[in-house]
């Protein structure tokens, strides 16, 4: 059988193997949906903004050092252990660190600590405690009040983040379709059963002179 497949033959293969493609896509999508629901899932984000350094005076180098040091302090095991103890969390230190992201735009003295969690109430508690303990730990070393929280208390509500689950599900559909098409072509190429007159001619290497309808 000729190994080359033209566009018309490809559409014929897709039509014949339509069920295989749909089933493959559904299985990939279902597996991904279960993984997203149980492991990733939708989660909430809550930010806390910290002003690091003095706004007045020519102390840019000092501010840069303070900002870098503070960013390192946020995920320090000592700080995370205090947060875990204060809130009586079951999360490990590594798990807690994975829930934290730190943002700092260039030439800005504002450091934003973003905490994510599936519980909208707990995510606020984690963010507040993390900010408070990070500031307290940093002040042990600098000895003054060059660091302060801009949004004290429970200001605003956590933001529900659905980006990761939605992207994962969309990717699973695309992967499922391509995998299904690949399996359909693979099965077609290795399927030696005779389905049409051309298959007989290709197999025997000679033309068919006639046929009888039964």
Domain 43-161 homologous superfamily, CATH? EIF_2_alpha (3.30.70.1130)
Q: What is the pTM of this model?
A: 0.60
Within 8 A by CB and 6+ apart from 24, the residues are 176, 179, 180, 183
**pLDDT tens profile 122-146:** 999 999 999 999 998 888 877 666 7
Q: What is the pLDDT of residues 38-87, one digit of tens each?
A: 766 678 899 999 988 776 655 667 778 888 888 899 999 999 999 999 99
Look at residues 9, 14, 31 and name the one whose alpha carbon lies nearest to residue 169.
31
**Across 132-209, where does the E strand assignment appear?**
147-149, 159-161
How sure is the predictor about 34, in pLDDT bands with cuts at 50, 70 and 90? confident
Where along the chain do the CATH 3.30.70.1130 domains lie? Answer: 43-161
């Amino acid at each position: 059988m000729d190994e080359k497949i033209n566009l018309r033959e490809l559409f014929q293969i897709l039509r014949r193997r339509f069920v295989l493609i749909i089933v493959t896509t559904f299985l990939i999508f279902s597996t991904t949906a279960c993984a997203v629901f149980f492991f990733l899932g939708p989660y909430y984000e809550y930010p806390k903004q910290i002003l690091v350094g003095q706004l007045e005076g020519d102390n840019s180098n000092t501010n840069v050092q303070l900002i870098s040091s503070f960013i390192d302090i946020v995920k320090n095991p000592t700080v995370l252990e205090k947060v875990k103890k204060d809130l009586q969390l079951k999360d490990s230190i590594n798990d807690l660190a994975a829930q934290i992201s730190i943002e700092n735009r260039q030439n800005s003295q504002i450091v934003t600590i973003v905490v994510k969690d599936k519980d909208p109430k707990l995510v606020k508690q984690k963010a507040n405690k993390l900010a408070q303990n990070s500031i307290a730990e940093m002040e042990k070393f600098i000895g003054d009040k060059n660091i302060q929280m801009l949004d004290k208390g429970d200001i605003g509500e956590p933001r529900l983040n659905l980006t990761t689950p939605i992207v994962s599900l969309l990717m699973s559909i695309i992967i499922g379709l391509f995998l299904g098409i690949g399996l359909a072509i693979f099965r077609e190429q290795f399927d030696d059963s005779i389905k049409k007159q051309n298959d007989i001619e290709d197999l025997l290497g000679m033309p068919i002179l006639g046929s009888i309808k039964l």
